Amino acid sequence: MKSIFLISIISLFNLCSSGNTTQAQAGLSADGTTMTTKFKVFGNCGMCKKRIEKAAKIDGVTAADWDVDSKILTIIFDETKVKPSQVHRAVAAVGHDTEKVKADDAVYANLHECCQYERAN
């Protein structure tokens, strides 16, 4: 049933292409197009925090803050330039699993000993 909702409601307000506008419109927003999002990134320590935040600040991300206790990474970004999935990948690339993207085993193995967080499986 879900997919039906996706398809059917879109035509209510047709700016341009009627129907199938979901993807096209994804990521449209306000003035700044500045958005905030949060997701879980696995890590342990202050060293992890530095690495995660540095990795997250790809082009288009204006601020990144990772909380050691909650493991939540908050990013503020320009959504016309970058999508959250790219940040997930950037963080995973330096060895930290996110709730969506798993880091490469070899990269994880190379992390400092104190940063070897417990992996889900």
Partner 1 sequence: MKNITVLLAGLFLYSHTLFSQANTNLTGMVTNDQEELLIGASVFWKDTKQGATTDTTGHFSLPARNVASTLVVHYIGYTPAEIQVLPGENNIWVEVSGISQLQQVTVNGASFDTHVSTLETRNVEHISSKELRKAPCCNLSESFETNGAVDVNYANALTGVKEIQMLGLRGVYSQFMVENRPTMGGIATPFAFEYIPGTWLDGIQLAKGASSVKNGYAGITGQINADLVKPHLDKPLFINAFTSTEGRGELNVHLNKKGKGRISNGLLMHGSFVENRWDMNDDNFYDSPSRQQLNGLYRVFYESPGMCAQFNVQALTDHRQGGQISPIAGKTGLFSIDQNNDRVEVWGKIGYEGIGGKPYNQIGNMISASWHRSDALYGPNKYAATQKSFYWQSLYQTIIGTTDHTIVIAPSLQYDDIQETVNEGDLSRKETVPGAMVEYTYSRPNLDMEMPDLVLVIGARADWNSRFERLLFTPRMSAKYNFSQKSIARISVGRGFRSPNLMAENISLLAGNRALDFASDLGLEEAWNYGLNFTQSFKAARRDATFSLDVYRTDFVQQILADVDRSPTQVSFYNAKGKSFSNSILASVLYNILPGFDVKLSYKWNDVRATFADGVLRTIPLVAKHRGLVTLDYTTPNKLWAFHTRVQVMGPQRLPDNSQIPHEYTHDFPTTSPTFGIWNAQVTRRIGKKLEVYIGGENLTGFQQHNAIIAANEPDSPFFNGSQVWAPMMRQVAYLGVRFAPGGLQL
Q: Quick one: DSSP state of residue 35?
A: E
Site string for partner 1, 53-82 (x = CB under 8 A): -----------------x-x------xx--
What's the closest the beta carbon of residue 91 comes to partner 1, in angstroms? 15
What's the closest the beta carbon of residue 106 comes to partner 1, in angstroms? 25
Enumerate long-range contacts of 98-103, CB under 8 Å, 24 or more apart. 98/39, 98/40, 98/41, 98/42, 98/73, 99/39, 99/40, 99/41, 100/39
**Residue 121 binds partner 1, judged by CB under 8 A:** no
For partner 1, the closer of residues 56 and 115 by Cβ is 56
**Residue 26 binds partner 1, judged by CB under 8 A:** yes
Strands of 19-108, DSSP E: 34-40, 61-66, 72-78
